[in-house]
Amino acid sequence: MPPPSGGLRLGGGALGNLVYPREGKRKRHSSWDRKGGNFDWFVVPPGGTATLADIKGPGCITHIWITGRTKEKFFLRKSLLQMFWDGEKEASVQSPLGDFFGVGHARVADFWSLPLCMTTRGDRRSQRAAMNSFFPMPFSKGARIQLVNQGKMQIDALYFYIDYEEYPTPPDDFLRFHAQWRRQNPTPPSVNLKEPIYRRDLGHRVPGSPFMVIGSIPNLNGEMNYVILDAKGRGHYVGCNLSIDNIGVIHNEAWFGEGDDMIFIDGDKEPTLRGTGTEDYFSDAWGFSGRYSKPFYGVSLNGMESGSGLVRIAGKWTMFRFHIVDPIMFNNSIKVTIEHGQANVQSNDYASVAYWYQTEPHAPFPKMLSLKDRMPSDDKKSFLKLIDSWR
Q: pLDDT digits over 250-281, tens only?
A: 766 788 889 999 999 999 999 999 999 999 99
Where does residue 18 rank: exposed (0-12), middle (13-18), buried (19+ CB within 10 A)? Answer: exposed
Question: Is 171 or 84 the better-scoring residue by pLDDT?
Answer: 84
Bridge-based pairing state of the strands 176-184 and 93-96: parallel
| Proportion of the chain above pLDDT 90, given as a percent | 71
Task: Determine the pLDDT at residue 209.
Answer: 65
Tell me whether residue 3 is in a domain: no
Kindly tell me if the per-residue pLDDT of 236 is higher than 90.
Answer: yes
pLDDT digits (tens, 9 = 90+) for 184-216: 999 999 887 666 554 444 444 455 566 777 777
262 and 360 inside one domain: yes
Kindly tell me if the per-residue pLDDT of 373 is higher than 90.
Answer: yes
Tell me whether residue 6 is in a domain: no
Tell me whether residue 5 is in a domain: no
Question: Is 379 or 369 the better-scoring residue by pLDDT?
Answer: 369
143 and 229 inside one domain: no
Question: Is 264 or 14 the better-scoring residue by pLDDT?
Answer: 264
Q: What is the mean pLDDT of residues 303-321?
A: 82
257 and 372 inside one domain: yes
Question: Highest-confidence range of 109-123, 190-204, 231-245, by mean pLDDT?
Answer: 231-245
Q: Cα separation of 248 and 390, whole Å? A: 8
Task: Determine the pLDDT at residue 200.
Answer: 43
- Looking at 158, 174, 190, the residue that finishes a domain is 174
- What is the number of domains present in the chain? 2
Task: Determine the pLDDT at residue 307.
Answer: 64
Q: How far is CA 76 from CA 21, 107, 128, 155, 184, in A?
A: 39, 7, 10, 11, 18
Bridge-based pairing state of the strands 235-245 and 349-358: antiparallel
Alpha helices per DSSP H over 216-323: 278-281
Q: What is the mean pLDDT of residues 64-87?
A: 98
Question: Is 237 or 308 the better-scoring residue by pLDDT?
Answer: 237
Residue 310 banded pLDDT, cuts 50, 70, 90 = confident
Residue 173 banded pLDDT, cuts 50, 70, 90 = confident
Q: Which residues, in sequence order, are bridge partners of residue 63?
A: 163
162 and 228 inside one domain: no
10 — phi, psi (to 5°)? -75, 175
What's this model's pTM, rounded to 2 decimal places? 0.93
Task: Determine the pLDDT at residue 198.
Answer: 41
Tell me whether residue 13 is in a domain: no
Kindly tell me if the per-residue pLDDT of 335 is higher than 80.
Answer: yes
234 and 162 inside one domain: no
Q: What is the mean pLDDT of residues 209-224?
A: 82
125 and 199 inside one domain: no
Residue 40, domain extent: 22-174
Q: Residue 51: which CATH number?
A: 2.60.120.1390
- Looking at 115, 142, 174, the residue that finishes a domain is 174
| Proportion of the chain above pLDDT 70, given as a percent | 90
Residue 10 banded pLDDT, cuts 50, 70, 90 = low
Tell me whether residue 10 is in a domain: no
- Looking at 174, 202, 226, the residue that finishes a domain is 174
263 and 161 inside one domain: no
30 and 132 inside one domain: yes
